[in-house]
Amino acid sequence: MADAMEQLYQQVILDHARVRQGEGELADYGGESFQINPTCGDQVTLRVQLDPAGEKIQALGWTGQGCSISQASLSVMHELVIDQPVSRAEELGGYFRELMAARGKELEGTRLEALEDASAFTGVARYPVRIKCALLGWMALRDALVQARGRA
Amino acid sequence: MLNPDTVRADFPLLGRTVRGGKPLVYLDSGATAQKPQQVIDAESAFYAQTNAAVHRGAHQIAEEATEAYESSRTVVAEFVGADVDEIVWTKNATEALNLVAYGFLNASLAAAAAPGSPAAEAVSPEARTRYALVPGDEIVVSEAEHHANLVPWQQLAAKTGATLRWIGVTAEGRLDPETYSVIGDRTRVLAITHASNVTGAITDVAALVSRARAVGAYVVLDACQTAAHMPVDLHALDVDFAAFSAHKMVGPTGVGALYGRRELLEDLPPFLTGGSMVEVVTMEATSFMPPPQRFEAGTQMVAQVVGFRAAVEYLRELGMEQVAAHEAAMTQLLLEGIAAVPGVRVLGPQDAADRLAVVAFEVDGVHPHDVGQVLDNAGVAVRVGHHCAQPIHRRLGVHASARASAGVYTTIADIEAFIEGLHEVVRFFATPETPTMQASTVESGKGRV
Protein backbone atom coordinates (compact mmCIF):
# COMPACT_ATOMS: atom_id res chain seq x y z
CA MET A 1 0.00 0.00 0.00
CA ALA A 2 0.57 3.22 0.75
CA ASP A 3 3.59 5.10 -0.24
CA ALA A 4 2.41 7.69 2.26
CA MET A 5 2.73 5.17 5.09
CA GLU A 6 6.13 4.00 3.90
CA GLN A 7 7.30 7.59 3.77
CA LEU A 8 6.04 8.22 7.26
CA TYR A 9 7.15 4.95 8.78
CA GLN A 10 10.64 4.79 7.28
CA GLN A 11 12.38 1.49 7.92
CA VAL A 12 14.82 3.22 10.23
CA ILE A 13 11.88 4.43 12.35
CA LEU A 14 10.30 0.98 12.52
CA ASP A 15 13.65 -0.54 13.43
CA HIS A 16 14.31 1.97 16.20
CA ALA A 17 10.76 1.49 17.50
CA ARG A 18 11.42 -2.24 17.81
CA VAL A 19 14.94 -2.16 19.14
CA ARG A 20 15.19 0.92 21.23
CA GLN A 21 18.47 2.54 22.21
CA GLY A 22 18.82 4.03 25.62
CA GLU A 23 15.70 2.49 27.06
CA GLY A 24 16.23 1.72 30.71
CA GLU A 25 16.39 3.42 34.04
CA LEU A 26 19.52 5.33 34.91
CA ALA A 27 20.48 4.96 38.57
CA ASP A 28 22.93 7.87 38.72
CA TYR A 29 21.77 11.04 37.07
CA GLY A 30 22.05 14.79 37.33
CA GLY A 31 18.85 15.73 35.57
CA GLU A 32 15.45 14.12 35.10
CA SER A 33 12.38 15.08 33.13
CA PHE A 34 8.90 13.62 32.88
CA GLN A 35 6.95 14.56 29.78
CA ILE A 36 3.46 13.59 28.77
CA ASN A 37 1.49 14.08 25.60
CA PRO A 38 -2.01 14.66 26.96
CA THR A 39 -3.76 13.95 23.67
CA CYS A 40 -2.70 10.32 23.60
CA GLY A 41 -1.28 9.73 27.07
CA ASP A 42 2.20 8.90 25.81
CA GLN A 43 4.82 9.55 28.41
CA VAL A 44 8.53 9.40 29.06
CA THR A 45 10.82 9.75 32.02
CA LEU A 46 14.30 10.65 30.88
CA ARG A 47 17.44 10.88 32.98
CA VAL A 48 20.76 12.31 32.00
CA GLN A 49 24.21 12.25 33.58
CA LEU A 50 26.93 14.69 32.56
CA ASP A 51 30.66 14.10 32.87
CA PRO A 52 32.40 15.61 35.91
CA ALA A 53 33.20 18.76 33.96
CA GLY A 54 29.51 19.16 33.21
CA GLU A 55 30.17 19.42 29.49
CA LYS A 56 29.42 16.05 27.94
CA ILE A 57 26.44 13.70 28.08
CA GLN A 58 27.96 10.69 29.76
CA ALA A 59 24.79 8.63 30.18
CA LEU A 60 21.20 8.89 29.08
CA GLY A 61 18.35 6.54 29.93
CA TRP A 62 14.62 6.71 29.38
CA THR A 63 11.52 4.75 30.24
CA GLY A 64 7.97 5.23 29.13
CA GLN A 65 5.45 4.18 26.59
CA GLY A 66 4.23 5.54 23.36
CA CYS A 67 3.70 5.09 19.67
CA SER A 68 6.38 3.99 17.23
CA ILE A 69 7.16 7.60 16.33
CA SER A 70 7.83 8.71 19.90
CA GLN A 71 9.75 5.55 20.79
CA ALA A 72 11.88 5.65 17.66
CA SER A 73 12.57 9.35 18.14
CA LEU A 74 13.84 8.72 21.68
CA SER A 75 16.02 5.88 20.44
CA VAL A 76 17.52 7.92 17.59
CA MET A 77 18.04 10.86 19.91
CA HIS A 78 19.96 8.63 22.29
CA GLU A 79 22.27 7.56 19.49
CA LEU A 80 22.83 11.13 18.39
CA VAL A 81 23.62 12.75 21.71
CA ILE A 82 25.32 10.10 23.81
CA ASP A 83 28.94 11.07 24.51
CA GLN A 84 28.36 14.41 22.83
CA PRO A 85 28.94 17.84 24.33
CA VAL A 86 25.80 19.38 25.81
CA SER A 87 26.10 22.25 23.36
CA ARG A 88 26.05 19.79 20.44
CA ALA A 89 22.96 18.04 21.85
CA GLU A 90 21.21 21.38 22.10
CA GLU A 91 22.23 22.26 18.57
CA LEU A 92 20.85 18.96 17.27
CA GLY A 93 17.66 19.49 19.25
CA GLY A 94 17.31 22.85 17.50
CA TYR A 95 17.74 21.21 14.09
CA PHE A 96 15.18 18.57 14.95
CA ARG A 97 12.63 21.14 16.07
CA GLU A 98 13.31 23.02 12.84
CA LEU A 99 12.69 19.80 10.90
CA MET A 100 9.38 19.31 12.70
CA ALA A 101 8.33 22.85 11.81
CA ALA A 102 9.19 22.33 8.12
CA ARG A 103 5.94 20.49 7.20
CA GLY A 104 7.74 17.70 5.43
CA LYS A 105 10.41 19.75 3.66
CA GLU A 106 13.99 18.62 4.10
CA LEU A 107 16.48 20.83 5.90
CA GLU A 108 19.47 22.08 3.97
CA GLY A 109 22.41 19.71 3.58
CA THR A 110 24.68 20.07 6.59
CA ARG A 111 21.91 20.27 9.14
CA LEU A 112 20.07 17.32 7.65
CA GLU A 113 23.29 15.31 7.65
CA ALA A 114 23.95 16.27 11.24
CA LEU A 115 20.63 14.70 12.19
CA GLU A 116 21.70 11.32 10.75
CA ASP A 117 18.91 8.78 11.43
CA ALA A 118 16.72 11.55 12.79
CA SER A 119 16.38 12.88 9.26
CA ALA A 120 14.06 9.92 8.67
CA PHE A 121 11.45 11.88 10.63
CA THR A 122 11.10 14.43 7.82
CA GLY A 123 7.77 12.88 6.76
CA VAL A 124 6.39 13.00 10.29
CA ALA A 125 6.20 16.78 10.04
CA ARG A 126 3.43 16.38 7.45
CA TYR A 127 1.14 15.09 10.21
CA PRO A 128 0.65 17.87 12.77
CA VAL A 129 -0.67 15.48 15.42
CA ARG A 130 2.42 13.29 15.19
CA ILE A 131 4.94 16.13 15.58
CA LYS A 132 4.30 16.08 19.32
CA CYS A 133 5.11 12.37 19.34
CA ALA A 134 8.46 12.96 17.66
CA LEU A 135 9.30 15.87 19.96
CA LEU A 136 8.42 14.14 23.25
CA GLY A 137 11.95 12.85 23.86
CA TRP A 138 13.67 16.01 22.71
CA MET A 139 11.53 18.07 25.10
CA ALA A 140 12.48 15.75 27.92
CA LEU A 141 16.16 16.01 27.00
CA ARG A 142 16.13 19.79 26.93
CA ASP A 143 14.43 19.93 30.30
CA ALA A 144 16.72 17.32 31.88
CA LEU A 145 19.83 19.08 30.59
CA VAL A 146 18.75 22.36 32.19
CA GLN A 147 18.53 20.57 35.52
CA ALA A 148 21.75 18.65 35.07
CA ARG A 149 23.66 21.80 34.27
CA GLY A 150 22.08 23.59 37.19
CA ARG A 151 23.57 20.97 39.46
CA ALA A 152 26.92 20.56 37.76
CA MET B 1 -35.63 -0.27 9.03
CA LEU B 2 -33.43 2.74 8.65
CA ASN B 3 -31.61 2.91 5.34
CA PRO B 4 -28.17 4.43 6.00
CA ASP B 5 -27.57 5.09 2.31
CA THR B 6 -30.54 7.44 2.24
CA VAL B 7 -29.47 9.00 5.53
CA ARG B 8 -25.92 9.56 4.25
CA ALA B 9 -27.21 11.72 1.42
CA ASP B 10 -28.25 14.27 4.05
CA PHE B 11 -24.69 14.63 5.39
CA PRO B 12 -22.57 16.68 2.98
CA LEU B 13 -19.30 16.02 4.76
CA LEU B 14 -19.64 12.27 4.25
CA GLY B 15 -19.33 12.90 0.52
CA ARG B 16 -15.81 14.29 0.74
CA THR B 17 -12.54 12.49 0.26
CA VAL B 18 -9.44 12.43 2.43
CA ARG B 19 -5.72 11.64 2.11
CA GLY B 20 -5.45 11.96 -1.61
CA GLY B 21 -8.88 11.10 -2.93
CA LYS B 22 -9.95 8.27 -0.65
CA PRO B 23 -13.64 8.14 0.26
CA LEU B 24 -14.16 9.07 3.90
CA VAL B 25 -15.16 6.26 6.24
CA TYR B 26 -16.25 8.14 9.34
CA LEU B 27 -16.20 5.93 12.44
CA ASP B 28 -15.67 8.63 15.03
CA SER B 29 -19.26 9.57 15.83
CA GLY B 30 -18.65 8.82 19.49
CA ALA B 31 -16.33 11.84 19.55
CA THR B 32 -18.58 14.03 17.45
CA ALA B 33 -21.26 13.26 14.88
CA GLN B 34 -21.44 14.74 11.41
CA LYS B 35 -24.27 17.16 10.65
CA PRO B 36 -27.13 16.78 8.18
CA GLN B 37 -27.92 19.60 5.77
CA GLN B 38 -31.13 20.21 7.76
CA VAL B 39 -29.08 21.27 10.80
CA ILE B 40 -26.66 23.36 8.77
CA ASP B 41 -29.60 25.06 7.05
CA ALA B 42 -31.43 25.73 10.31
CA GLU B 43 -28.42 27.45 11.80
CA SER B 44 -27.76 29.37 8.63
CA ALA B 45 -31.40 30.42 8.24
CA PHE B 46 -31.43 31.73 11.79
CA TYR B 47 -28.51 34.02 11.04
CA ALA B 48 -29.97 35.04 7.68
CA GLN B 49 -33.47 35.79 8.97
CA THR B 50 -33.97 35.74 12.70
CA ASN B 51 -30.77 36.73 14.48
CA ALA B 52 -31.29 38.92 17.55
CA ALA B 53 -30.60 38.79 21.27
CA VAL B 54 -33.20 36.72 23.10
CA HIS B 55 -35.22 37.70 26.18
CA ARG B 56 -34.46 41.37 25.63
CA GLY B 57 -35.48 44.00 23.14
CA ALA B 58 -39.04 44.75 22.06
CA HIS B 59 -38.56 44.57 18.34
CA GLN B 60 -40.00 41.93 16.04
CA ILE B 61 -36.74 40.16 15.32
CA ALA B 62 -35.99 39.85 19.03
CA GLU B 63 -39.46 38.38 19.48
CA GLU B 64 -38.87 35.83 16.73
CA ALA B 65 -35.42 34.93 18.03
CA THR B 66 -36.82 34.41 21.52
CA GLU B 67 -39.59 32.25 20.10
CA ALA B 68 -37.04 30.17 18.15
CA TYR B 69 -34.89 29.79 21.27
CA GLU B 70 -37.72 28.80 23.60
CA SER B 71 -39.62 26.55 21.19
CA SER B 72 -36.35 24.66 20.65
CA ARG B 73 -36.33 24.01 24.37
CA THR B 74 -39.76 22.41 24.08
CA VAL B 75 -38.67 20.16 21.22
CA VAL B 76 -35.45 19.03 22.89
CA ALA B 77 -37.24 18.49 26.21
CA GLU B 78 -39.82 16.24 24.55
CA PHE B 79 -37.08 14.32 22.79
CA VAL B 80 -35.51 13.25 26.10
CA GLY B 81 -38.74 12.83 28.04
CA ALA B 82 -38.47 16.00 30.10
CA ASP B 83 -40.68 19.03 30.75
CA VAL B 84 -39.73 22.26 29.05
CA ASP B 85 -38.70 24.10 32.22
CA GLU B 86 -36.42 21.22 33.19
CA ILE B 87 -33.99 21.87 30.34
CA VAL B 88 -31.13 24.36 30.75
CA TRP B 89 -28.96 25.27 27.77
CA THR B 90 -25.24 24.97 28.39
CA LYS B 91 -22.31 25.18 26.06
CA ASN B 92 -21.75 21.42 26.30
CA ALA B 93 -22.28 18.45 28.60
CA THR B 94 -19.11 19.25 30.52
CA GLU B 95 -20.55 22.62 31.49
CA ALA B 96 -23.85 20.97 32.42
CA LEU B 97 -22.10 18.58 34.81
CA ASN B 98 -19.99 21.38 36.27
CA LEU B 99 -23.14 23.45 36.73
CA VAL B 100 -24.52 20.79 39.07
CA ALA B 101 -21.23 20.22 40.87
CA TYR B 102 -20.77 23.97 41.41
CA GLY B 103 -24.35 24.21 42.69
CA PHE B 104 -23.39 21.71 45.37
CA LEU B 105 -20.18 23.63 46.06
CA ASN B 106 -21.92 26.99 46.39
CA ALA B 107 -24.44 25.49 48.80
CA SER B 108 -21.62 23.85 50.77
CA LEU B 109 -19.67 27.10 51.07
CA ALA B 110 -22.78 28.89 52.34
CA ALA B 111 -23.55 26.13 54.83
CA ALA B 112 -20.00 26.27 56.18
CA ALA B 113 -20.13 30.04 56.71
CA ALA B 114 -21.14 31.71 59.98
CA PRO B 115 -24.96 31.68 60.32
CA GLY B 116 -26.42 34.99 59.26
CA SER B 117 -23.22 36.10 57.51
CA PRO B 118 -23.39 37.33 53.90
CA ALA B 119 -21.63 34.14 52.81
CA ALA B 120 -24.31 32.02 54.49
CA GLU B 121 -27.10 34.11 53.03
CA ALA B 122 -25.67 33.92 49.51
CA VAL B 123 -27.82 30.88 48.81
CA SER B 124 -31.31 29.98 49.97
CA PRO B 125 -31.97 27.85 53.07
CA GLU B 126 -33.50 25.22 50.77
CA ALA B 127 -30.30 25.11 48.72
CA ARG B 128 -28.22 24.62 51.86
CA THR B 129 -30.49 21.83 53.06
CA ARG B 130 -30.53 19.99 49.77
CA TYR B 131 -27.07 20.49 48.42
CA ALA B 132 -24.55 21.31 51.16
CA LEU B 133 -21.91 18.60 51.53
CA VAL B 134 -19.85 18.18 54.67
CA PRO B 135 -16.81 16.05 55.47
CA GLY B 136 -17.95 12.45 55.72
CA ASP B 137 -20.53 12.81 52.97
CA GLU B 138 -19.84 10.66 49.95
CA ILE B 139 -19.99 11.18 46.21
CA VAL B 140 -20.11 8.01 44.14
CA VAL B 141 -18.95 7.83 40.52
CA SER B 142 -17.70 4.90 38.48
CA GLU B 143 -14.34 3.88 37.11
CA ALA B 144 -15.91 4.06 33.63
CA GLU B 145 -16.59 7.80 33.71
CA HIS B 146 -15.52 10.23 31.05
CA HIS B 147 -13.28 12.83 32.71
CA ALA B 148 -16.20 15.27 32.41
CA ASN B 149 -18.22 13.21 34.89
CA LEU B 150 -15.28 12.44 37.14
CA VAL B 151 -13.08 15.50 37.55
CA PRO B 152 -15.87 17.93 38.63
CA TRP B 153 -16.89 15.48 41.37
CA GLN B 154 -13.31 14.85 42.39
CA GLN B 155 -12.91 18.62 42.70
CA LEU B 156 -16.16 18.96 44.63
CA ALA B 157 -15.02 16.28 47.07
CA ALA B 158 -11.65 17.96 47.54
CA LYS B 159 -13.24 21.36 48.19
CA THR B 160 -15.94 20.18 50.58
CA GLY B 161 -14.13 17.40 52.43
CA ALA B 162 -16.57 14.85 51.05
CA THR B 163 -15.19 11.45 50.06
CA LEU B 164 -15.17 10.28 46.46
CA ARG B 165 -15.97 6.59 46.05
CA TRP B 166 -16.46 4.62 42.91
CA ILE B 167 -18.19 1.67 41.36
CA GLY B 168 -15.70 -0.68 39.76
CA VAL B 169 -15.55 -2.07 36.26
CA THR B 170 -15.42 -5.75 35.33
CA ALA B 171 -12.76 -7.19 33.05
CA GLU B 172 -15.42 -7.10 30.33
CA GLY B 173 -15.78 -3.34 30.78
CA ARG B 174 -19.17 -3.23 32.48
CA LEU B 175 -20.01 -1.57 35.79
CA ASP B 176 -19.50 -4.25 38.38
CA PRO B 177 -22.73 -4.93 40.36
CA GLU B 178 -20.58 -6.46 43.10
CA THR B 179 -19.34 -2.96 43.84
CA TYR B 180 -22.73 -1.22 43.84
CA SER B 181 -22.51 -1.51 47.62
CA VAL B 182 -20.28 1.58 47.68
CA ILE B 183 -23.61 3.42 47.54
CA GLY B 184 -24.31 3.74 51.22
CA ASP B 185 -25.91 5.83 53.95
CA ARG B 186 -23.49 8.71 53.46
CA THR B 187 -23.88 8.85 49.68
CA ARG B 188 -25.29 12.23 48.65
CA VAL B 189 -24.62 12.12 44.93
CA LEU B 190 -24.35 9.28 42.44
CA ALA B 191 -22.87 10.55 39.17
CA ILE B 192 -22.86 7.84 36.57
CA THR B 193 -22.55 7.40 32.85
CA HIS B 194 -25.47 6.03 30.85
CA ALA B 195 -22.99 4.23 28.60
CA SER B 196 -19.23 4.03 28.58
CA ASN B 197 -17.62 6.04 25.81
CA VAL B 198 -14.85 3.43 25.73
CA THR B 199 -16.49 0.02 26.08
CA GLY B 200 -19.95 1.01 24.87
CA ALA B 201 -21.49 -0.87 27.83
CA ILE B 202 -24.93 0.47 28.74
CA THR B 203 -25.51 1.05 32.45
CA ASP B 204 -28.33 -0.61 34.35
CA VAL B 205 -29.68 2.76 35.47
CA ALA B 206 -32.75 1.33 37.20
CA ALA B 207 -30.68 -0.81 39.56
CA LEU B 208 -28.49 2.14 40.50
CA VAL B 209 -31.37 4.59 40.87
CA SER B 210 -33.17 2.27 43.27
CA ARG B 211 -30.04 2.00 45.42
CA ALA B 212 -29.54 5.76 45.34
CA ARG B 213 -33.20 6.38 46.23
CA ALA B 214 -32.90 4.00 49.18
CA VAL B 215 -30.19 6.19 50.70
CA GLY B 216 -31.59 9.55 49.56
CA ALA B 217 -28.79 10.32 47.10
CA TYR B 218 -29.26 12.43 43.98
CA VAL B 219 -28.56 10.74 40.66
CA VAL B 220 -26.69 12.61 37.95
CA LEU B 221 -26.67 10.82 34.59
CA ASP B 222 -24.15 11.48 31.83
CA ALA B 223 -26.31 10.73 28.80
CA CYS B 224 -23.85 12.00 26.20
CA GLN B 225 -23.23 8.67 24.54
CA THR B 226 -26.81 7.43 24.63
CA ALA B 227 -28.98 10.40 23.65
CA ALA B 228 -28.11 10.10 19.96
CA HIS B 229 -28.16 6.33 19.76
CA MET B 230 -31.19 4.97 21.62
CA PRO B 231 -34.50 6.20 22.98
CA VAL B 232 -33.85 8.11 26.22
CA ASP B 233 -36.72 8.99 28.55
CA LEU B 234 -35.33 10.86 31.52
CA HIS B 235 -38.59 10.84 33.47
CA ALA B 236 -38.86 7.09 33.02
CA LEU B 237 -35.22 6.64 34.05
CA ASP B 238 -36.12 8.63 37.18
CA VAL B 239 -32.79 10.41 37.44
CA ASP B 240 -32.43 13.80 39.09
CA PHE B 241 -30.04 15.48 36.67
CA ALA B 242 -28.74 14.53 33.26
CA ALA B 243 -26.32 16.02 30.76
CA PHE B 244 -26.12 15.66 27.00
CA SER B 245 -24.51 17.46 24.14
CA ALA B 246 -25.87 18.49 20.73
CA HIS B 247 -22.70 17.81 18.77
CA LYS B 248 -22.89 14.08 19.44
CA MET B 249 -26.54 14.12 18.32
CA VAL B 250 -25.93 15.35 14.74
CA GLY B 251 -26.36 18.88 16.10
CA PRO B 252 -24.02 21.86 16.34
CA THR B 253 -21.03 22.30 18.63
CA GLY B 254 -21.34 24.96 21.32
CA VAL B 255 -24.61 23.80 22.82
CA GLY B 256 -25.54 21.11 25.29
CA ALA B 257 -28.20 20.72 27.90
CA LEU B 258 -28.71 20.00 31.54
CA TYR B 259 -31.85 18.23 32.63
CA GLY B 260 -32.89 18.76 36.23
CA ARG B 261 -36.09 17.76 38.00
CA ARG B 262 -38.09 20.96 38.39
CA GLU B 263 -38.02 21.20 42.18
CA LEU B 264 -34.31 20.44 42.21
CA LEU B 265 -33.45 23.17 39.71
CA GLU B 266 -35.67 25.47 41.76
CA ASP B 267 -33.34 25.10 44.77
CA LEU B 268 -30.03 24.83 42.94
CA PRO B 269 -27.81 27.93 43.35
CA PRO B 270 -26.58 29.53 40.12
CA PHE B 271 -23.24 28.59 38.61
CA LEU B 272 -22.37 31.44 36.21
CA THR B 273 -23.80 34.84 37.11
CA GLY B 274 -24.30 38.04 35.15
CA GLY B 275 -26.80 39.35 32.64
CA SER B 276 -30.03 37.58 31.67
CA MET B 277 -30.26 35.49 34.83
CA VAL B 278 -31.21 38.23 37.30
CA GLU B 279 -34.37 39.94 38.55
CA VAL B 280 -33.31 42.91 40.69
CA VAL B 281 -29.73 44.10 40.89
CA THR B 282 -28.57 46.73 43.35
CA MET B 283 -25.01 47.61 44.28
CA GLU B 284 -25.42 45.44 47.36
CA ALA B 285 -27.28 42.35 46.18
CA THR B 286 -29.04 40.52 43.36
CA SER B 287 -32.06 38.31 43.10
CA PHE B 288 -32.07 35.58 40.49
CA MET B 289 -34.55 34.42 37.88
CA PRO B 290 -36.28 31.08 38.29
CA PRO B 291 -34.86 28.15 36.33
CA PRO B 292 -34.00 27.58 33.57
CA GLN B 293 -33.02 31.25 33.00
CA ARG B 294 -31.17 31.30 36.33
CA PHE B 295 -28.56 29.05 34.73
CA GLU B 296 -28.28 30.85 31.39
CA ALA B 297 -26.09 33.85 32.13
CA GLY B 298 -24.99 36.14 29.34
CA THR B 299 -25.75 36.09 25.64
CA GLN B 300 -26.76 32.61 24.63
CA MET B 301 -25.78 30.41 21.67
CA VAL B 302 -29.12 30.94 19.99
CA ALA B 303 -28.23 29.78 16.48
CA GLN B 304 -26.79 26.58 17.94
CA VAL B 305 -29.91 26.02 20.03
CA VAL B 306 -31.96 26.33 16.84
CA GLY B 307 -29.59 23.85 15.17
CA PHE B 308 -29.99 21.52 18.15
CA ARG B 309 -33.75 21.56 17.60
CA ALA B 310 -33.26 20.69 13.93
CA ALA B 311 -30.95 17.83 14.99
CA VAL B 312 -33.46 16.22 17.36
CA GLU B 313 -36.21 16.72 14.80
CA TYR B 314 -34.00 14.91 12.32
CA LEU B 315 -33.40 12.03 14.76
CA ARG B 316 -37.08 11.94 15.71
CA GLU B 317 -37.97 11.67 12.04
CA LEU B 318 -35.65 8.66 11.70
CA GLY B 319 -37.16 7.22 14.87
CA MET B 320 -34.92 6.39 17.80
CA GLU B 321 -36.06 2.75 17.86
CA GLN B 322 -34.92 2.46 14.23
CA VAL B 323 -31.68 4.25 15.02
CA ALA B 324 -30.99 1.85 17.89
CA ALA B 325 -31.82 -1.19 15.74
CA HIS B 326 -29.56 0.00 12.94
CA GLU B 327 -26.69 0.68 15.29
CA ALA B 328 -27.15 -2.68 17.01
CA ALA B 329 -26.65 -4.27 13.58
CA MET B 330 -23.50 -2.18 13.09
CA THR B 331 -22.27 -3.22 16.54
CA GLN B 332 -22.70 -6.86 15.58
CA LEU B 333 -20.70 -6.35 12.38
CA LEU B 334 -17.96 -4.44 14.18
CA LEU B 335 -17.58 -7.12 16.83
CA GLU B 336 -17.60 -9.99 14.34
CA GLY B 337 -15.24 -8.20 12.00
CA ILE B 338 -12.74 -7.36 14.71
CA ALA B 339 -12.88 -10.88 16.13
CA ALA B 340 -11.72 -12.20 12.75
CA VAL B 341 -8.56 -10.07 12.69
CA PRO B 342 -5.69 -11.89 14.39
CA GLY B 343 -4.08 -10.06 17.28
CA VAL B 344 -6.90 -7.57 17.81
CA ARG B 345 -8.75 -7.49 21.13
CA VAL B 346 -12.00 -5.68 21.88
CA LEU B 347 -11.94 -3.67 25.11
CA GLY B 348 -15.49 -4.13 26.29
CA PRO B 349 -18.37 -6.56 25.98
CA GLN B 350 -17.84 -9.07 23.18
CA ASP B 351 -21.53 -9.50 22.43
CA ALA B 352 -23.86 -6.87 21.06
CA ALA B 353 -26.42 -6.97 23.88
CA ASP B 354 -26.72 -3.90 26.11
CA ARG B 355 -23.96 -2.03 24.41
CA LEU B 356 -23.61 0.77 21.90
CA ALA B 357 -21.76 0.78 18.59
CA VAL B 358 -18.72 2.20 20.37
CA VAL B 359 -15.93 -0.35 20.11
CA ALA B 360 -12.50 0.28 21.59
CA PHE B 361 -9.81 -2.21 20.72
CA GLU B 362 -6.11 -2.86 20.91
CA VAL B 363 -3.85 -4.34 18.28
CA ASP B 364 -1.20 -6.58 19.73
CA GLY B 365 2.18 -4.86 19.60
CA VAL B 366 0.94 -1.77 17.78
CA HIS B 367 0.34 1.51 19.55
CA PRO B 368 -3.15 3.00 19.01
CA HIS B 369 -1.65 6.10 17.45
CA ASP B 370 -0.01 3.97 14.78
CA VAL B 371 -3.23 1.99 14.30
CA GLY B 372 -5.10 5.24 13.71
CA GLN B 373 -2.46 6.50 11.30
CA VAL B 374 -2.67 3.49 8.99
CA LEU B 375 -6.48 3.52 9.14
CA ASP B 376 -6.45 7.24 8.37
CA ASN B 377 -4.27 6.57 5.37
CA ALA B 378 -7.02 4.26 4.13
CA GLY B 379 -9.59 7.02 4.67
CA VAL B 380 -10.93 5.48 7.88
CA ALA B 381 -11.40 7.95 10.74
CA VAL B 382 -11.28 6.44 14.24
CA ARG B 383 -10.39 7.91 17.60
CA VAL B 384 -7.08 7.08 19.27
CA GLY B 385 -5.85 7.83 22.77
CA HIS B 386 -7.59 7.52 26.10
CA HIS B 387 -10.87 9.08 24.92
CA CYS B 388 -10.97 11.34 27.99
CA ALA B 389 -11.34 8.24 30.17
CA GLN B 390 -7.96 7.31 31.60
CA PRO B 391 -9.18 5.32 34.64
CA ILE B 392 -11.11 2.71 32.64
CA HIS B 393 -8.11 2.21 30.36
CA ARG B 394 -5.96 1.64 33.40
CA ARG B 395 -8.55 -0.80 34.70
CA LEU B 396 -8.52 -2.73 31.42
CA GLY B 397 -4.73 -2.84 31.51
CA VAL B 398 -3.94 -0.53 28.61
CA HIS B 399 -2.63 3.03 28.39
CA ALA B 400 -4.71 3.96 25.39
CA SER B 401 -6.80 2.40 22.68
CA ALA B 402 -8.22 2.92 19.23
CA ARG B 403 -11.98 3.24 18.99
CA ALA B 404 -14.46 2.83 16.16
CA SER B 405 -17.90 4.28 16.75
CA ALA B 406 -20.89 4.23 14.44
CA GLY B 407 -23.82 6.54 13.88
CA VAL B 408 -27.08 6.80 11.97
CA TYR B 409 -25.19 7.10 8.67
CA THR B 410 -22.82 4.17 9.14
CA THR B 411 -23.07 1.54 6.41
CA ILE B 412 -21.99 -2.06 6.07
CA ALA B 413 -19.44 -0.81 3.53
CA ASP B 414 -17.97 1.49 6.22
CA ILE B 415 -17.47 -1.44 8.57
CA GLU B 416 -15.95 -3.56 5.79
CA ALA B 417 -13.50 -0.79 4.89
CA PHE B 418 -12.56 -0.46 8.54
CA ILE B 419 -11.97 -4.20 8.95
CA GLU B 420 -9.89 -4.26 5.78
CA GLY B 421 -7.92 -1.35 7.23
CA LEU B 422 -7.35 -3.31 10.43
CA HIS B 423 -5.90 -6.19 8.43
CA GLU B 424 -3.61 -3.66 6.77
CA VAL B 425 -2.52 -2.37 10.19
CA VAL B 426 -1.56 -5.88 11.24
CA ARG B 427 0.27 -6.53 7.95
CA PHE B 428 2.10 -3.21 8.02
CA PHE B 429 3.40 -3.54 11.55
CA ALA B 430 3.98 -7.30 11.46
CA THR B 431 7.34 -7.94 13.03
CA PRO B 432 9.70 -10.51 11.57
CA GLU B 433 10.78 -11.41 15.09
CA THR B 434 9.51 -10.73 18.57
CA PRO B 435 10.14 -7.10 19.49
CA THR B 436 13.06 -6.78 21.86
CA MET B 437 13.98 -4.12 24.31
CA GLN B 438 17.53 -3.12 24.89
CA ALA B 439 18.91 -1.09 27.71
CA SER B 440 21.31 1.75 27.19
CA THR B 441 24.18 -0.52 28.07
CA VAL B 442 23.77 -2.41 24.81
CA GLU B 443 26.15 -1.26 22.18
CA SER B 444 24.51 1.42 20.17
CA GLY B 445 22.85 0.41 16.94
CA LYS B 446 24.07 -3.16 16.82
CA GLY B 447 20.74 -4.68 17.72
CA ARG B 448 19.05 -3.51 14.57
CA VAL B 449 18.63 -5.50 11.40
Nearest residue to B383 via CA among B353, B406, B354, B365: B406
User: Which CATH number covers residue A138?
Assistant: 3.90.1010.10
| CA neighbours closer than 13 Å in the CB half-sphere of residue B309 | 21
- Could you list the active site residues of B? 388
Distance of CA B76 to the CA centre of its chain: 16
Contact status of B235 with chain A (Cβ, < 8 Å): no
Cα separation of A120 and A73, whole Å?
10
Sign of the dihedral through C-alpha B106, B109, B111, B117: negative
The per-residue pLDDT string of chain B (449 residues; one tens digit each, 9 = 90 and over) reads 899 999 999 999 999 999 999 999 999 999 999 999 999 999 999 999 999 999 988 899 999 999 999 999 999 999 999 999 999 999 999 999 999 999 999 999 999 999 999 999 999 999 999 999 999 999 999 999 999 999 999 999 999 999 999 999 999 999 999 999 999 999 999 999 999 999 999 999 999 999 999 999 999 999 999 999 999 999 999 999 999 999 999 999 999 999 999 999 999 999 999 999 999 999 999 999 999 999 999 999 999 999 999 999 999 999 999 999 999 999 999 999 999 999 999 999 999 999 999 999 999 999 999 999 999 999 999 999 999 999 999 999 998 999 999 999 999 999 999 999 999 999 999 865 544 433 333 333 333 32
Q: Taking CB atoms and an 8 Å cutoff, what residues of chain B touch A24?
A: 439-441
Which domains occur in chain B, in start order? 4-30+319-428 (3.90.1150.10), 40-316 (3.40.640.10)
| Interchain CB distance below 8 Å, A66 and B384 | no
**pLDDT tens digits along B170-208:** 999 999 999 999 999 999 999 999 999 999 999 999 999
**How many domains, in total, are found in chain A?**
1
| Interchain CB distance below 8 Å, B367 and A66 | yes
**pLDDT tens digits along B120-152:** 999 999 999 999 999 999 999 999 999 999 999
Question: How far A123 CA sits from the closest chain B CA (Å)?
Answer: 13
Choose, out of A18, A68, A131, A133, the residue to mutate when testing the contact with B (most B CBs < 10 Å): A18
Of B373, B444, B447, the CB nearest to A8: B373
Cα separation of A37 and B372, whole Å?
16
Cα separation of B110 and A122, whole Å?
58
Note the ipTM here: 0.90
| Interchain CB distance below 8 Å, A15 and B19 | no
What are residue B187's DSSP bridge partners?
A: B138
Contact status of A27 with chain B (Cβ, < 8 Å): no
What domain range includes position A92? 2-151
Question: How far A55 CA sits from the closest chain B CA (Å)?
Answer: 20
Cα separation of B414 and A8, whole Å?
25
| Interchain CB distance below 8 Å, B440 and A130 | no
Neighbours of B97 (CB within 10 A): 29
